[in-house]
């Protein structure tokens, strides 16, 4: 295992270097200067919205069998929330939205809101106890078509299949699928499973993602129900229990479909279906919406407003500006490594990452989100796009 040992050594050195840079920056007081700069950018107090996905008691064990970049341990979640809570007031997403609607300069203290995407069962099992203990309000966004079923989200299925191919040393470009699915996979193959997955999600419409996942599972002799039990979503009873506990339950489409990759009529059906199912099952219509994988267009934003959502969040790691559109709220996606030093939790890395120091200095990559509305296309081009060709201008999630 010399290659793996070498990789681990390089990874630790990289993390150590990052922690050293963070320590030097905080010792110099750069984080205070960045806060002032970002307040000016925001037009008033800063409103930081955090985005999580999955919470697990054992990050190491869970990351070996599922998509690591979605994971945060319960201990790290608590540390991250305590860290931001010492420097900011933690408020609900509804309050954060109201603060952003206030006139510029109308409020002095900075605030943080907490959100969790995808509705995994571990939100109820592991995240809720931490939120309760710290008295932190939160919004949980759920894709209603998966709640209470044995189905798994497409990104979990694809990541498991791509990881299995990599372990068998089968190049993604030669996976042996029938065209056009093999053509689509080959066009998106880049590096390992995670990078390829990002490109697939950015480029393909939902039905093609699902078809590709199913084809890979058939080729590998697996099924979505073979994925670890930890990848299941909540039941409706668990969703209602979150609501009863004071957690805001928001919409995340029916099928976790990237709306920017769908015809607008289909995107509207995803939005309205999600709204109606939540209203029926939870007893109240959802107020907030999260764009799956953060992608949206101006037309999608208008559709979100038209079906009755009051606000929508992206995963663009940018400063929220007072007076901006409530349908393009920016969020910072957090996971275990966001606040990791050489071998464990690092307060200085947390300060620089959560405070926007790395992003301000250009040491962190921006996360794309908004796409232009697609132009009207001839029927032949539209047919090719619906058949699974990548839309123009597709970008991968960072």
pLDDT tens digit string along 75-132? 999 999 999 999 999 999 999 999 999 877 666 789 999 999 999 999 999 999 999 9
Count CA within 13 A, CB hemisphere, residue 39: 15
pLDDT tens-place string over residues 154-177:
999 999 999 999 999 999 999 999
What is the per-residue DSSP string for 91-153? E-HHHHHHHHHSPTTS--S-EEEEEEETTBHHIIIIIHHHHHHHT---EEEE-GGGTTSS---
CA distance 133 to 205: 40
Using pLDDT thresholds of 50, 70 and 90, give the confidence band for residue 40: very high
Other CB atoms within 10 Å distance of the CB of residue 144: 27
Contact yes or no for 368/318 (Cβ under 8 A): no
Helix (H, G, I), strand (E, B) or coil at 250: strand
The b/e string for 18-50 (b: 16+ C-beta within 10 A; e otherwise) is bbebbbebbeeebbeebbeebbeebbbbbbbbb
What pLDDT, on a 0 to 100 scale, did the predictor assign at position 107? Answer: 67
Identify which has the larger pLDDT, 105 or 43. Answer: 43
Contact yes or no for 236/126 (Cβ under 8 A): no
What pLDDT, on a 0 to 100 scale, did the predictor assign at position 282? Answer: 98
pLDDT tens-place string over residues 263-299:
999 999 999 999 999 999 999 999 999 999 999 999 9
Q: Which has the closest alpha carbon to 340: 19, 11, 6, 51? A: 19
Looking at mean pLDDT, say which of 105-109, 253-257, 358-362 comes out highest.
253-257
pLDDT at 6 over 90: no
Calculate what percentage of the chain has a pLDDT beyond 70: 91
Strand pairing report for 47-52 and 332-333? parallel
Mean pLDDT of the chain: 91
Report phi then psi at 176, rounded to 5.
Answer: 85, 20
What pLDDT, on a 0 to 100 scale, did the predictor assign at position 388? Answer: 43
Let me know how long the chain is. Answer: 398
Residue found by looking up tokens 């769908």 in the block: 262
CATH 3.20.20.370 region(s) of the chain? 47-152+227-311+326-333+369-398
Interior CA angle at 40 toward 37 and 42, to 5°?
A: 110
pLDDT at 226 over 50: yes
What pLDDT, on a 0 to 100 scale, did the predictor assign at position 366? Answer: 86
Q: Which CATH number fits domain 47-152+227-311+326-333+369-398: 1.20.810.10, 3.40.605.10, 3.30.360.10, 3.20.20.370?
A: 3.20.20.370
pLDDT at 218 over 50: yes
What pLDDT, on a 0 to 100 scale, did the predictor assign at position 105? Answer: 62
> Would you state the structure tokens that stand for residue 304, as one six-digit string?
């979100």
Among 234-238, 270-274, 364-368, the range scoring the smallest mean pLDDT is 364-368
pLDDT at 1 over 70: no
What pLDDT, on a 0 to 100 scale, did the predictor assign at position 258? Answer: 98
Other CB atoms within 10 Å distance of the CB of residue 109: 10
């Amino acid at each position: 295992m010399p290659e793996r040992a070498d990789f681990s050594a390089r990874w630790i050195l990289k993390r150590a270097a990052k922690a050293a840079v963070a320590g030097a920056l905080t010792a110099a007081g750069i984080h205070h200067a960045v806060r002032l700069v970002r307040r000016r950018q925001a037009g008033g107090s800063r409103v930081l919205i955090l985005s999580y996905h999955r919470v697990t008691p054992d990050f190491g064990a869970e990351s070996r069998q599922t998509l690591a970049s979605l994971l945060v341990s319960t201990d790290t979640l608590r540390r991250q929330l305590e860290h931001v809570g010492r420097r900011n007031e933690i408020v609900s997403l509804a309050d954060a939205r109201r603060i952003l609607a206030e006139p510029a300069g109308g409020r002095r203290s900075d605030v943080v809101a907490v959100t969790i995407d995808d509705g995994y069962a571990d939100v109820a099992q592991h995240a809720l106890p931490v939120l309760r203990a710290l008295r932190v309000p939160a919004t949980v966004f759920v894709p209603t078509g998966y709640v209470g079923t044995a189905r798994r989200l497409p990104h979990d299925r694809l990541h498991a299949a791509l990881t299995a191919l990599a372990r068998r040393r089968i190049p993604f470009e030669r996976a042996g699928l029938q065209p056009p699915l093999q053509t689509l996979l080959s066009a998106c193959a880049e590096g390992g499973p995670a990078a390829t997955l990002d490109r697939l999600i950015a480029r393909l419409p939902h039905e093609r993602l699902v078809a590709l996942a199913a084809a890979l599972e058939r080729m590998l002799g697996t099924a979505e129900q073979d994925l670890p039990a930890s990848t299941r979503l909540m039941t409706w009873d668990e969703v209602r229990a979150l609501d009863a506990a004071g957690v805001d339950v928001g919409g995340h489409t029916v099928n976790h479909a990237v709306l920017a990759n769908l015809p607008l009529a289909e995107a509207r059906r995803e939005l309205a279906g999600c709204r109606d199912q939540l209203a029926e099952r939870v007893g109240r219509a959802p107020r907030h919406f999260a764009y799956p994988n953060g992608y949206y267009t101006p037309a999608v934003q208008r559709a979100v407003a038209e079906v009755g959502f009051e606000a929508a969040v992206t995963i663009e790691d940018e400063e929220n500006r007072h007076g901006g559109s409530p349908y393009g709220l920016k969020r910072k996606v957090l996971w275990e490594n966001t606040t990791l030093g050489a071998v464990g939790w690092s307060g200085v890395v947390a300060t620089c990452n959560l405070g926007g120091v790395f992003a301000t200095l250009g040491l962190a990559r921006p996360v794309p989100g908004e796409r232009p509305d697609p132009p009207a296309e001839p029927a032949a081009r539209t047919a090719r796009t619906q058949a699974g060709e990548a839309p123009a201008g597709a970008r991968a999630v960072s």
